[in-house]
Amino acid sequence: MSDKELKSFKIGDNQSAGISSPVSAKANAAADSPESQSVGFARIEKILEDETPETIGEKLNSLISELETYGNEASTNKDKLAAEKAVGAVEKVADLMDYLFQTKGSIESNP
């Protein structure tokens, strides 16, 4: 393009306007549901409300032991490394869940 053409260039000259999708009634219904009041971590919030720290700890510990068993039985270094990374990730999740349960307990004890 020449300098003259660049001065009067507009994106709309090369592309047509897009069509936006209309807001459906389904989207409005979803906005009124209790999950829409969540800050984005509905699954974690459900676990904190429905489970106890002991049951979550047991589930995560069994997952860690399964991953360690998989890592020990893995035939390739790639699988062993993946199992080690997964164990580390699950341990971090366990620490996070412990912290969240402690925070929940302190909030409930101090109204």
Tens-of-pLDDT digits for all 111 residues of the chain? 566 666 666 666 565 555 555 555 555 555 555 555 656 688 888 999 999 999 999 999 999 999 999 999 999 999 999 999 999 999 999 999 999 999 999 998 987
Torsion of CA 63, 69, 70, 76, to 10 degrees: 150
* pTM (whole model) above 0.75: no
Number of domains in the chain: 1
Whole-number Å distance between alpha carbons of 71 and 78: 10
Looking at the chain, how many residues does it have? 111
- Whether 72 is in a domain gets the answer yes
- Whether 13 is in a domain gets the answer no
Structural domain for 97, as ranges? 48-111
Half-sphere exposure of 83 (CA within 13 A, CB side): 18
Whole-number Å distance between alpha carbons of 21 and 110: 47
- Whether 25 is in a domain gets the answer no
- Whether 59 is in a domain gets the answer yes
Phi, psi (deg, nearest 5) at residue 100: -65, -40
- Whether 70 is in a domain gets the answer yes
- Whether 6 is in a domain gets the answer no
